Chain A
């Protein structure tokens, strides 16, 4: 090996080392974020913290109303988004021809909406759901301030709209992974198209749809921008009972406690605890999604 190639090899090693350092740095950032949240938050955690409402002008007490409100809004969101998203994907994949104009339009809309900033969805929720639809309902019922104001219903619908593309894409992917032979088999045995979808296609698509649902819940739990004008409250002395009530939610609570607190020393521990709870939730959901996905993949491999 002459001098020049040897020199090049050393230069190579340095450059490869640099790219390796980039990976280490990224993993270190992930570790720092996790450690900072865990180290800052674990002291605040207790059963009381999870089960009690805030007290003394939100400087003491727990985060129960925020957890309750979050779950409430996520359930409404799922009720709205899952049936619509799955039905749309089934139609697009099982019924529509690929060059059908609706299929192309929906593909385009899905692709483009995936990148629209979450705050723009918030604007839409406020302007369309609350001021247009909500006020319209109130006017036609001859009342005021029931639907035409921020509440869980509108916040959940805004989140649902934001997550609709994700459910459609996840379901379509799941449908695509099912071999055409399965459908042909069912049809050959005399099943109708809908029977085939109902009893052969959909059951096999469930893990894929579930992955989408889990990811959407994780995203919905953490999103603040779309709900801050459409339903989330700074503080509520009671738990929401109806979809037309406002609600407290974990992400917005963290934002409020960190940036708009009158007494930052008293609220930071609460914000840290709330951050730990939220992060634990979204992380476990993401890990569940990864596990479901890798299970289905290995099952598919075994099956073939």
Chain B
């Protein structure tokens, strides 16, 4: 009877699953343990709200990077969210399912393009366009927002399509039978019924935009300052870590880990809000 080998396999699998969990938890614990003490020592407000970032002089205020990240992300949402949601509405409501089944995977291919390739296109195509037609150095907040706006499209479209398709057909039929036009049905019945899924898709896309690194470093120009216009170069939180970690030591290194903690916390908040919004939908049904 292979009873012992049964037991051994079960124990072995449990051990692997347990170590996978420990490794995943370790990431959070390690980043926080490396960064949090610095934040307390340097001062929470000094770190988050001072504009002085000068590692040589021991000044570690990340406020310009926080503001830049915020603007680049908001710009990306302003471009990606309307485009993505409109696209999702068109593909679910106004074309045959077969057409959607062809177009949806093609749009999802956008998610398969590596972030350096987006950055490369940004440098080669987008930045010169901005420089020649709008002015400024080209590598700018605007370039970052446009590239990120494109990169988040697959996230928004896939999740929005799923949640719009989950709206029961009877809702639409009821609305049409009451005399509403097709568009009125979309706007007043289908979209409100799918709103939690759409909101979740936008929140998750925001997380992607905040966390994106390589494309952003390549196209935003990376100057540490609070941007005065969309055409100025900016440096985001992720770019700050990627640009300086290679040579940082001592306090400087800790400050970069602390920047990682800030990113971590922002992403956690966004993740939790997305799953909270999704749960609301399930609770309502």
The residues of A with any CB-CB pair to B shorter than 8 Å are 5, 8-9, 11-12, 15-16, 18-20, 22-23, 25-27, 29-30, 32-33, 36-37, 40, 83-85, 87-88, 90-92, 95-96, 102, 105-106, 109-113, 115-124, 126-128, 161, 164-165, 168, 192-195, 218, 221-225, 228-229, 251-252, 254-255, 258-259, 268, 271-272, 275, 278-279, 282-283, 285-287, 290
Q: Is B40 an interface residue (CB 8 A)?
A: no
Q: Kindly state the separation between the CA atoms of A233 and B113 in the bound complex, as whole angstroms.
A: 22
B166 part of interface (Cβ distance < 8 Å): no
Q: Check B27 for interface membership: any CB of A closer than 8 A.
A: yes
- The answer to whether B94 touches A36 (Cβ under 8 A) is no
Cβ 8 A contact of B245, one of A9, A195, A229: A229
Measured in the bound complex, the distance between the Cα atoms of B17 and A33 in whole Å is 40
How many Å lie between the Cα of A118 and that of B267 in the bound state?
12
Pick the 4 closest A-B CB pairs, nearest first.
A222-B114, A117-B211, A22-B86, A286-B112
From known contacts A16-B94, A119-B213, A120-B264, infer whether A258 and B31 are also in contact, taking CB-CB under 8 Å. no
Given contacts A27-B107, A91-B17, A164-B23, contact A117 B116 (CB under 8 A): no
B233 proximal to A (CB < 8 A): no
Known contacts A16-B182, A192-B6, A222-B116, then 10 further A-B pairs from the complex at CB < 8 Å, ordered by chain A residue? A5-B181, A12-B183, A109-B25, A115-B204, A119-B213, A119-B263, A193-B6, A222-B115, A278-B117, A283-B113
Task: Determine if B250 is an interface residue (Cβ-Cβ < 8 Å).
Answer: no
> What is the interface of chain B mostly: helix, strand, loop, or mixed?
helix
* CB of B171 closer than 8 Å to a CB of A: no
Q: Are A23 and B87 in contact (CB under 8 A)?
A: yes
CB distance from A245 to the nearest CB of B (A): 18
Q: Report A107 CB to chain B, min CB distance, Å.
A: 10
Q: How far is the CB of B27 from chain A (nearest CB, A)?
A: 5
Does B229 touch A at the CB level, under 8 Å? no
Instruction: Evaluate whether A222 and B117 lie within 8 angstroms (CB atoms) in the complex, with A12-B182, A15-B183, A168-B20 already known.
Output: yes
| Cα–Cα distance between A11 and B12 once the two chains are bound (Å) | 64
Residues A106 and B112 in contact in the complex (CB < 8 Å), given A115-B267, A192-B6: no
B109 within 8 A of A: yes
Say which residue of A87, A112, A165, A279 sits within 8 Å of B114 (CB atoms).
A279
Complex Cα spacing A32 to B141, Å: 21
Determine the chain B residues whose CB is within 8 A of the CB of A30 once the complex forms.
106-107, 109-110
Q: Are A111 and B112 in contact (CB under 8 A)?
A: no
Which residue of B19, B117, B238 contacts A254 across the interface (Cβ within 8 Å)? B117
With a cutoff of 8 Å between Cβ atoms, the chain A residues found around residue B87 in the complex are 19, 22-23, 26
**Cα distance A299–B236 when bound, in Å?**
47
Query: Contacts of B212 on A, CB cut-off 8 Å?
Result: 117
Within 8 A of A (CB), among B177-222: 181-184, 204, 207-208, 210-214, 217-218
The reply to whether B19 and A102 contact each other, CB–CB distance below 8 Å, is: no
- Which residues in B have their C-beta under 8 angstroms from that of A228? 242, 246
> Across the interface, do B119 and A124 meet the contact criterion of CB distance under 8 Å?
no
Residue numbers in B under 8 Å from A115 (CB-CB)? 204, 207-208, 211, 267, 270-271
> Which residue of chain B has its CB nearest to the CB of A224?
B214
Q: Which residues of A contact B20 (CB under 8 A)?
A: 84-85, 88, 106, 164, 168
Given contacts A9-B181, A117-B238, whether A165 and B24 have CB atoms under 8 Å apart is yes
Alpha-carbon gap, A255 to B12, bound state (A): 42
B131 to chain A, nearest CB (A): 15
Contact B117 A275 (CB under 8 A): yes
Across the interface, name the chain A residue whose C-beta is closest to B35: A123
B2 beta carbon closer than 8 Å to chain A: yes
Q: Which residue of B lies closest to A81 (CB)?
A: B20
A259 touches B24 (CB 8 A): no
Q: How far is the CA of A116 from the CA of B260 in the complex (A)?
A: 10
> What is the bound-complex CA distance between A278 and B119, given in angstroms?
13
Docked complex Cα distance between A278 and B144 (Å): 22
A268 to B241, CA, bound (A): 26
Distance from B278 Cβ to chain A, minimum over Cβ atoms (Å): 11
A23-B103, A102-B18, A255-B119 known; A118+B245 contact, CB < 8 A? no
Asked if residues A26 and B153 are in contact (CB atoms below 8 Å), the reply is yes
Residues of B within 8 A of A29 (CB): 110, 150, 153
Cα A271 to Cα B218 with chains together (Å): 13
Q: Which residues of B contact A88 (CB under 8 A)?
A: 13, 16-17, 20-21
Asked if residues B264 and A116 are in contact (CB atoms below 8 Å), the reply is yes
Q: Which of A36, A105, A128 contacts B30 (CB 8 A)?
A: A128
Beta-carbon contact of A91 and B14 below 8 Å: yes
Q: Complex Cα distance A96/B15, Å? A: 12
B223 sits at the interface (CB 8 A): no
